[in-house]
Amino acid sequence: MAAIRSEKVESTGKNSNLNAASEVEAGIRDFVRNDIAQLRRPMPSVRSDAEAALEPNTEATVNNVNSLIQRVAGTSLAEIENLISELEALRDLLHHEGQRVQREISGYAQLSQSAMKSTRMISDTVSQWKDDIRNI
């Protein structure tokens, strides 16, 4: 049940990431089509009033692109930070589980040694009884 919820959360997160990526791509396409095309036009040495009026428009476009890039970078950085924290938690979990397994193995080794000693003692005692019985 938890795995299904986890998959739903992951797919929802993936959908939102895909939607954000699509939004960014659309913004970049619009920027390239409209604004970069205007910037590529050759600039005459003498600017007219209409061309001087394009400068604030160009600045607005640059600001829009910068804010778009910052939003995308912010989302990416947040995802990377989440991934790092999840990996650190997983590392800690694996470390603790490794220590637990080492303790369990140590306990089983001690139990095995005790069982071997007990078996030898019983075997020796039974052998002595057999010898004692034969001697009678």
Name the range with the highest mean pLDDT among 4-18, 38-52, 78-92.
78-92
Residue 46 in any domain: the answer is no
Q: What is the C-alpha separation between 116 and 118, in angstroms, rounded?
A: 5
* Selected residue with higher pLDDT from 96 and 54: 96
Answer for the pair 68, 27: CB distance below 8 angstroms, yes or no: yes
Whether residue 9 has pLDDT greater than 50? no
The mean per-residue pLDDT over the stretch 14-18 comes to 70
Residue 47 in any domain: the answer is no
Whether residue 92 has pLDDT greater than 60? yes
Residue 132's pLDDT is what?
82
How many residues would you count in the chain?
A: 136
Residue 49 in any domain: the answer is no
Domain holding 15, by residue range, is: 2-41+54-135
Residue 69's pLDDT is what?
80
Residue 48 in any domain: the answer is no
Residue 26's pLDDT is what?
75
Residue 89 in any domain: the answer is yes
Residue 93 in any domain: the answer is yes
SS (H, E, C) the chain: CHHHHHHHHHHHHHHHHHHHHHHHHHHHHHHHHHHHHHHHCCCCCCCCHHHHHHHHHHHHHHHHHHHHHHHHHHHHHHHHHHHHHHHHHHHHHHHHHHHHHHHHHHHHHHHHHHHHHHHHHHHHHHHHHHHHHHHC
**Those residues with Cβ within 8 angstroms of residue 21's Cβ, 6 or more apart along the chain or in another chain:** 72
Residue 68 in any domain: the answer is yes
Whether residue 71 has pLDDT greater than 50? yes
Residue 34's pLDDT is what?
65
The structural domain count of the chain equals: 1
pTM: 0.42
